[in-house]
Chains A and B, each alone.
Chain A
Amino acid sequence: MFVVVVGCGRVGAQVAHDLVEDGHDVNVIDQNAEALQRLGSDFPGEFVQGVALETTVLEAAGIERADAFVAATNGDNTNLVIAQIARDRYLVDCVIVRVLDPARARFYEEKGLVTVCPTRTAIDRMSQALRAFAGGDGEGG
């Protein structure tokens, strides 16, 4: 499949690499030209420098023929807006959006977006670990 990844930070760059490893075609968008370094010189896909809110940038990265779209910039609202543009304007079948704020993640999940919330995951794992401790040797401590 062909995937467009927006945001080439730790998350976006590694997702792009994983997908390439699995044999998929991947293009990456980031507004910062230096983000290209995270992909490494052997990255086979295209890197487009630009603001993903601009349709010319999305189209330069090939969104019109994308099977999947990943929104992983460091701005929740940017991710939520470009994900909806990918779904509603370019009719991309699979749209995944990273949202740090759990409340907004839940709201947009209810509106039909596939959201990934690292904050929620961190909260759940930490609470889980503490409860396991409290329920075991830590009881009464």
Chain B
Amino acid sequence: MYAVIVGGGKVGANVGRALLRMGHEVSIVEARSQRFATLESEFEHMARYGDGTEIFVLEAAGMARADVCIAVTGDDEDNIIIGQVARDHFGVENVVARVNDPRNQEHFDLLGVAPTVCATESILSLIEHEVPQHSLVHLFSLRRENLEILEIQVVEGSRAEGVAVADLQMPPGTLVISVLRNRVGRVASPDTVLGPGDQVVAIAEPGQDSALMELFASE
């Protein structure tokens, strides 16, 4: 697989290293001359100097034959344009983009640049997972596929308490994946009986939060 990474900061460089270790071919495009010099000493010819939002720079980096474009600069408007140009001008099938400011997520969604990764959102999800403020936590979102993975705590006295997974009346478009009990997760089997305090990890189509809350978290 050939990956063109645009933006050679910590994120870009580490993604590049990881892909190389997996045996893939990589180019890293970096616009800051000092940062480029650092990258070049490590990545040699795989590092490329230039503004990755310029079409001729991407062309020289071989974007036309890339299997994946990874847009991870520090500017969200740049990442959106890189994603659009890679997909619509060069015909790259897979685009992954970084969202720096979570308030810009809606722009990525509107303009069709997906999937996206946002560090702030990931950190918030982890905090919610570690220190739950609500009984339902969104762990991961597959926007393009219209699916999300979420975690919900079984409340004492809820309809789900004491019920086996096979007998749960799950809302449409949802499925239990695993059950976490005393911090140990197990893949759910049909005969797993839910107890209060259990955390159920489910995959769901968006919009089922209230139905899930009603089943697991309402007394």
Contacts and interface: CB of A to CB of B under 8 A. Distances in A.
Dominant SS at the B interface? helix
B54 A84 contact: no
Contacts, number: 47
Contact of B104 (A53, A104, A107): A53
Interface string A20-60: 00000000000000000000000000000000011100000
Interface stretch (B41-49, B61-69, B105-113, B142-150): B105-113
Contacts of A81: 76-77, 80-81, 107, 111
A111 B77 contact: no
Interface residues of A, number: 18
A66 interface: no
11 contacts: A53-B77, A53-B107, A76-B81, A77-B77, A77-B80, A81-B111, A84-B111, A89-B110, A103-B54, A104-B85, A111-B88
A116 interface: no
A54 B111 contact: no
A75 interface: yes
Given A84-B110, A88-B110, A104-B53, 9 more contacts: A53-B104, A77-B53, A77-B77, A77-B78, A77-B80, A84-B111, A104-B55, A107-B85, A107-B88
